[in-house]
C-alpha cells in the first residue's frame, strides 16, 4: 500500500517507450499502484542508450528510468494462454488499463474493449496512438520526431531551419493528456459506476499545444514561421547576447517596457518602439540595440540590473546547473530512490505538489524504476491471495 491521493487505484501499464509510461508514472507519482506489464524482452526503452548505468549483467537504461518510477514490473507473454489468464485476473482487479499498441493489436491478442469491460465494467482504458485510432492514417506508427513535424511544432521551432524540441515533447504531452483524461473518466465513474475508453495521440498532443500559433492561422489567416528565440507577438521577449552568456527578458506589458527603459536610460515613447505592435514590427532593430548595449557587461550584471528594475529575466541553465539549483531542490523536483541493482539514485521528481504534503507527487516514499520482472513473484502471490 502507498499514500497519496490516488493510493486506492490499481493501474495496469501495458505501454512501452515514453508516452504511455509517462502517463502511468504520473498516476504512480500520486500514489496509484502501477503494475507495468512487460514482454519477456522488456520495454523497448530498456535498450535505448547510451547512457546506461551498471555492469553488463545489471545494465540499466537512464532513458527507461526517466518514465518508470513508482511502478512494479511483471513479465507476461501475452501470446501464451497462461499469461493471458494472468492478465485477465489483473483486469478484474484493476481500475485503469493503459495501452499504446498499434490500432488493432490488443484485439488480436484477445483483449478487445468488449472483453475488457465484460471482465470489469468499471475499467478505465487509456489508448494512446500515434495519429489517432481512426481516420485515414490511423495505422501509422507513432514516433515523437515524426509527430513533431507532422503536427506543425517543428515549423515554428528553430531559426535557420525547422528544429525538434530537445525532449520527446509529443510523447510527453500525449502522456499528460492521457493522464488527465483518465482522471476525468475516474471522476465520471463515481456517478455511473462504469468505465470508458479514453483516447489520445501524439498528433493530438502536438495540435493541442499550438495555442496562439494555431489561431494565427485559423482566425488570423497568417501562417506562422520559425519563431527562433523571440516571441512572435511580444517584444522585447526573448534571448539576448551579453559580454558573456545570454540573458532572457520578458516584457509582457507596457509597464514592463517602461521599467526596462527606465533602468537603461532609454525613452519608452521613442516613435520606433513606442507600442508593442511597433516593437514587434521593428524587432530586429530593437534586438540590435539591446545586444549592443549589453555587450559591455557580463550576463550577471544585466540580470542584477533587470531584477532591481522588476523586469522578468533569467539565465539559460545547463542540466547540471538546474539540478543543483536551490529553487529546484526546494520544490521536490529531485528524488532519491533505492534501486534494486544500482543502489541510491537521483531522479527528476513529479511536477505536482499538494498543499498538505511537502513531497513530490503527494506520496511520501517513491519507488525506483523496476528491473525487468522484479515483482513477478509478489504480484502473482497477491493475485492468488
Q: For the chain, how many structural domains are there in total? A: 2
Nearest to 209 by CA among 177, 246, 168: 177
In a domain, 55, yes or no: yes
**Residue 355: pLDDT band by 50, 70, 90 thresholds?**
confident
Residues 44 and 163 in one domain: yes
Q: What is the radius of gyration, based on Cα positions, of the chain?
A: 24
Confidence check: pLDDT of 43 > 90 = yes
Domain that holds residue 144: 10-209+328-384
> What was the pLDDT predicted at 294?
96
Instruction: Name, in order, each residue with C-beta under 8 angstroms of 324's C-beta and a sequence gap of 6 or more.
Output: none
Average pLDDT across the chain, whole number: 95
193: left (phi over 0), alpha (psi -120 to 50) or beta: left
- pLDDT tens, 125-184? 999 999 999 999 999 999 999 999 999 999 999 999 999 999 999 999 999 999 999 999
Confidence check: pLDDT of 64 > 70 = yes
In a domain, 344, yes or no: yes
Question: pTM here?
Answer: 0.94
Residues 255 and 197 in one domain: no
Positions marked active-site: 171
Residues 87 and 198 in one domain: yes
Amino acid at each position: 500500500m502507498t499514500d497519496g491521493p490516488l493510493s486506492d487505484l490499481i493501474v495496469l501499464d501495458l505501454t512501452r517507450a515514453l508516452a504511455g509510461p509517462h502517463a502511468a508514472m504520473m498516476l504512480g507519482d500520486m500514489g496509484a499502484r502501477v503494475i507495468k506489464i512487460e514482454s519477456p524482452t522488456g520495454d523497448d526503452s530498456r535498450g535505448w542508450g547510451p547512457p546506461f548505468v551498471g555492469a553488463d549483467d545489471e545494465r540499466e537504461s537512464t532513458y527507461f528510468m526517466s518514465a518508470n518510477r513508482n511502478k512494479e514490473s511483471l513479465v507476461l507473454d501475452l501470446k501464451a494462454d497462461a499469461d493471458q489468464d494472468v492478465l485477465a485476473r489483473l483486469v478484474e482487479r484493476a481500475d485503469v488499463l493503459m495501452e499504446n499498441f498499434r490500432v488493432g493489436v490488443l484485439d488480436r491478442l484477445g483483449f478487445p474493449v468488449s472483453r475488457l469491460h465484460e471482465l470489469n465494467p468499471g475499467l478505465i482504458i487509456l489508448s494512446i496512438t500515434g495519429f489517432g485510432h481512426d481516420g485515414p492514417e490511423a495505422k501509422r506508427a507513432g514516433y515523437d520526431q515524426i509527430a513533431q513535424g507532422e503536427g506543425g511544432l517543428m515549423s515554428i521551432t528553430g531559426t535557420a531551419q525547422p528544429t525538434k524540441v530537445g525532449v520527446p515533447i509529443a510523447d510527453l504531452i500525449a502522456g499528460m493528456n492521457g493522464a488527465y483524461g483518465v482522471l476525468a473518466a475516474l471522476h465520471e465513474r463515481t456517478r455511473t459506476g462504469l468505465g470508458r475508453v479514453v483516447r489520445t495521440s501524439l498528433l493530438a498532443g502536438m495540435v493541442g499545444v499550438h495555442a496562439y500559433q494555431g489561431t494565427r492561422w485559423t482566425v488570423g489567416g497568417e501562417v506562422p514561421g520559425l519563431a527562433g528565440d523571440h516571441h512572435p507577438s511580444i517584444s522585447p521577449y526573448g534571448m539576448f547576447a551579453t559580454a558573456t552568456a545570454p540573458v532572457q527578458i520578458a516584457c509582457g506589458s507596457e509597464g514592463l517596457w517602461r521599467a526596462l527603459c527606465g533602468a537603461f536610460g532609454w525613452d519608452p515613447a521613442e516613435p520606433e518602439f513606442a507600442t508593442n505592435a511597433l516593437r514587434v514590427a521593428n524587432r530586429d532593430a530593437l534586438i540590435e540595440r539591446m545586444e549592443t548595449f549589453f555587450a559591455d557587461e557580463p550576463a550577471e550584471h544585466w540580470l542584477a540590473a533587470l531584477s532591481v528594475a522588476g523586469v522578468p529575466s533569467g539565465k539559460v541553465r545547463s542540466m547540471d546547473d538546474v539540478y543543483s539549483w536551490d529553487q529546484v531542490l526546494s520544490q521536490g523536483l529531485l528524488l532519491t530512490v533505492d534501486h534494486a541493482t544500482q543502489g541510491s539514485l537521483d531522479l527528476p521528481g513529479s511536477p505536482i505538489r499538494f498543499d498538505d504534503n511537502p513531497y513530490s507527487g503527494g506520496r511520501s516514499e517513491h519507488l525506483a524504476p523496476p528491473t525487468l520482472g522484479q515483482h513477478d513473484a509478489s504480484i502473482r502471490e497477491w493475485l492468488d491471495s
